[in-house]
Amino acid sequence: MFHQLFHRLRTALQYLLGAFACIAVILVLMVKKSNSFMTQSHPHPAEDYAEALKLFSSLQAEEPGNMNPACRNRLLTHGKRTEKAIILVHGYTSSPAQFLELGQQFFSAGYNVLIATFPHHGLADRMTKEHGRLTADELAIYADRTVDIASGLGDQVDMLGLSAGGVTTAWAAHNRKEIDTALLVSPAFAFRKIPTILTYAAMIFYRNIPDSFEWWDPEKKKNGTPLYAYPQYSHHALTEVLRLGFTVKDAAVEKAPAAKKIILVLNPSDEMVNNDMAIQIAEIWTRKGGNISTYSFDPSLKLPHDLIDPTQSGQRIDIVYPKLIDLVNS
């Protein structure tokens, strides 16, 4: 009897999995082209320091009135064009405050430093659903605008992004020749909760159902993130980050990246990001002739996903910051 019951359950499960697989394939076929209409890069790099300041002022003028002051766009400048400028790109639901301490270290090293706020981010109401409206196209436009500004801030432009910021930096690195060195730190091309092979299907599925929000930390809830960050994430917004990532992957198959050098920085202890997709994209770039290298932090460090924010539990900025600065300057 138990054998028959087990057999029936197994058969039912096989049918169920088969049905889900068919639905996933149909969804992929139906919207396969939806990933290809991504905004193309439209470079308008600042020609000098004065124009860079003007472009940054335009960015500031677009800040909503209900913004958390700690989350506003940041420009750390020496008052003139410097030899080097760097763009620091925060993660999804975070803000420039995440990178402020690292930015100060780059500034002390002589860099002009730009830390711009993602669209729909940094609002004073941390429980807002506004960030669920984030799109891959907006991230691409954000990348273009920040590179435009930085082009007038320094003779050499570097870019460093974490997680969703890493994917945004990857898009910029593929499209913008103004970038000298791009550091993709734990780029969120895929997530640990989803097998790599199912990432595209999962992206399509969540993109085509009503949006929903979940706590980053279900136990701590509102106290699970810093006060400058949103404590919840949107499934739709995460699919848009994945969309941008697949756009980068598709473009990488066609040609080499425009940036002079790209460094993929991996954290083996990261419980959020699946590194497999990032490694695949790096390999594709390499085959196309890109100058690509990879650095992986020691697993024994047990670094958190957010290895930038000094207030994170388990943080080791005494090791992480010097290494990132060294990689940018290598």
**212-222 residue pLDDT tens:** 999 999 999 99
| Strands of 122-172, DSSP E | 154-162
Question: Can you give the pLDDT at residue 24?
Answer: 52
Q: What is the mean pLDDT of residues 255-259?
A: 97
pLDDT band at 330 (very low <50, low <70, confident <90, very high): confident
Whole-number Å distance between alpha carbons of 196 and 190: 7
**140-170 residue pLDDT tens:** 999 999 999 999 999 999 999 999 999 999 9
**For the whole model, what pTM was predicted?**
0.89
- Give the CA-trace dihedral at 275, 280, 283, 288, to 10 degrees: -140
Whole-number Å distance between alpha carbons of 309 and 316: 10
- Residue 33 pLDDT > 80: no
DSSP track, 42-54: -----SSHHHHHH
CA 261 to chain CA mean position, Å:
18
DSSP track, 266-293: E-TT-SSB-SHHHHHHHHHHHHTT--EE
Within 8 A by CB and 6+ apart from 62, the residues are none
Q: Mapping DSSP to helix (H, G, I), strand (E, B) and coil, where does residue 162 land?
A: strand
- Residue 17 pLDDT > 90: no
Q: Between residues 32 and 121, which one has the greater pLDDT? A: 121
**39-53 residue pLDDT tens:** 689 999 999 999 999
Residue ranges of domains in the chain:
43-329
Q: What is the mean pLDDT of residues 195-200?
A: 92
Question: Can you give the pLDDT at residue 6?
Answer: 41
Question: Can you give the pLDDT at residue 303?
Answer: 96
Q: What is the mean pLDDT of residues 65-83?
A: 97
- Residue 34 pLDDT > 80: no
Region 43-329: CATH code: 3.40.50.1820
